[in-house]
Structure 1
């Protein structure tokens, strides 16, 4: 995924499924470096991780 698509997803009201390593995640924010994002797993766990945006896949 690229920086522009991450920004579009963040500004969208639609429920857009994004996966990281085969697991569904929510994108919380695009980090200032433009190369990483903060994400958390969909579901009850709120643990956040920083991941490279080029490893995110839109379903």
Structure 2
């Protein structure tokens, strides 16, 4: 995924399925300048990771 798509998903009111290494995640923040995103893994709000946006994959609905 690229930074612009990650930002669009983050800003969207729609539920868009995104995965990191095969696991569903929620995008919580996008750092466009550094190409990074903070994501919540699964349903635990404390389980967050900051990763390169290129590692995120949008899943077809």
Q: TM-score, normalised by structure 2?
A: 0.86
Over aligned residues, Cα RMSD in angstroms?
1.2
* Cα deviation 1:12-52 (Å, max 9, x = unaligned): 00000000000000000012533110001132x12111011
Count of equivalent residues? 58
CA distance in 1, matches of 2:25, 2:49: 10
CA distance in 2, matches of 1:24, 1:16: 10
Unaligned runs of 5+ in 2: none
Q: TM-score, normalised by structure 1?
A: 0.88
4+ aligned runs moved over 4 Å, structure 1: none
Unaligned runs of 5+ in 1: none
